[in-house]
Amino acid sequence: MHKIPDSYFKGNIIACYVLLIPLYAFFFLIGAKPFHLDTFMQVTQGQLAFRAAIMVSIEVVVVLISRLSMLLVRSKHQITYTGFIIWEILEGMSITMFCALFVWLLDKRTMVYVSLLPNMFMITFSILVFPYVIVALLSELKDREINLARSKVTIDKYASGQIGREDSTLPFLDEKKALKLAVQANSVLYIEAADNYVNICYLNNDKLVRYPLRNSMRSIEQICESNNIVRCHRSYYVNLRKVRAIQKGQDGLFAELTYSGAPHIPVSTTYSETVTGKFSTLSA
């Protein structure tokens, strides 16, 4: 399963959800009156504008809470495209239920609440589907531009010999972008997460050394991936050049390293296909 790229969580994208999309929704509601909204609510144009403003306010609050929750979840777990779509569907359903509740209470509960849900769902769907699709396409376009730029930088570095060699030097920076450790790629065995730190596990005079670096696994991803040190688990990177074999044990796949004193490194289902594919290519 492919994870959602970082471009989906940039500040300008979040601003679209809490500012531009609500503005679009308000003018769409009072202008287009989807599914005969004014007739459905039995209101005048002025009353419709008031109700549209409240409904849009509900949408802003729900989306803001939803996106903040998504950011918290994303800081600990990957969010796939499937998970993201399900999240947005639940987001739309929440907006539908709260807007229907508002209309039901405003009309002094003269209508059956459940009977409001189908129409309100169609209205919510009509005002959100178009902008949500546009924002998703813009995020994908931005992500492609970022990946192309990264690929160009990586190709240039390979061409100049800066990365890709076993003797290339990896600079590890802390969360404040200060250089804390520079080590040859050939010396690194694996990297493991440890609370707010990552442990850079490398060989020094044939002894395994763990260097605690205050940073996140995500922050060191690019420099690792560029040197065949790949993500194999939520808490581990492994140097494919130091892998003797990938085996299946009682607890799933694990990588056996060439250094006898190193532990077996778990390979989770999420990363197994990528890791085994790259390992096969490197070993060929």
Look over the chain and give the mean of its residue pLDDT values, rounded to a whole number.
87
Asked if residue 162 is part of any domain, the answer here is no
19 with 54, same domain: the answer is yes
Query: What's the pLDDT score for residue 284?
Result: 55
Residue 16 shares a structural domain with residue 143: yes
Same domain, yes or no: 143 and 176 = no
21 and 120 housed in the same domain:
yes
pLDDT at residue 160, as a whole number: 46
Q: How confident is the model at residue 56 (pLDDT cuts 50, 70, 90)?
A: very high
User: How far apart, in whole angstroms, are the C-alpha atoms of residue 240 and residue 150?
Assistant: 22
Whether residue 41 is contained in a domain is answered as yes
Whether residue 215 is contained in a domain is answered as yes
Asked if the model's pLDDT at residue 40 lies above 80, the reply is: no
**Range with lowest mean pLDDT among 66-80, 183-197, 254-268:** 66-80
- Residues 148 and 270 occupy one common structural domain: no
**Percent of the chain topping pLDDT 70:** 93
Interatomic CA distance for residues 53 and 26, integer angstroms: 6
Domain count, the chain: 2
Q: Say which residue the tokens 């609500």 belong to.
A: 22
Measured in degrees and rounded to the nearest 5, phi and psi for residue 25 equal -60, -40
Per-residue pLDDT at 39: 81
Does pLDDT of 65 surpass 90?
A: yes
CATH number for the domain including 183?
Answer: 2.40.50.1020
pLDDT of residue 222: 84
- pLDDT for residue 173: 92
Q: How far apart are CA 107 and CA 149, in angstroms?
A: 55
Whether residue 78 is found in the same domain as residue 173: no
Q: What is the extent of the structural domain holding 270?
A: 169-283
When pLDDT is averaged across residues 202-228 and rounded to a whole number, the result is 91
**Where among 134, 156, 178 does a domain terminate?**
156
- 199 within a domain of the structure (yes/no): yes
Dihedral sign from CA coordinates of 144, 148, 154, 158: positive
CA distance 30 to 49: 6
13 and 147 together in one domain: yes
Report if residue 27 sits inside a domain: yes
Give pTM, 2 decimals.
0.55
- Render pLDDT for 85-135 as a digit per residue (tens, 0 to 9): 999 999 999 999 999 999 888 877 777 888 889 988 999 998 889 899 998
Q: What is the reported pLDDT for 275?
A: 93
Question: Which pLDDT does position 157 carry in this prediction?
Answer: 56
Letter for the amino acid at 132? Answer: Y
- Mention every residue, 6+ apart, whose C-beta is less than 8 A from residue 53: 26
Output the CA torsion 56→62→63→69 (10° steps): 170
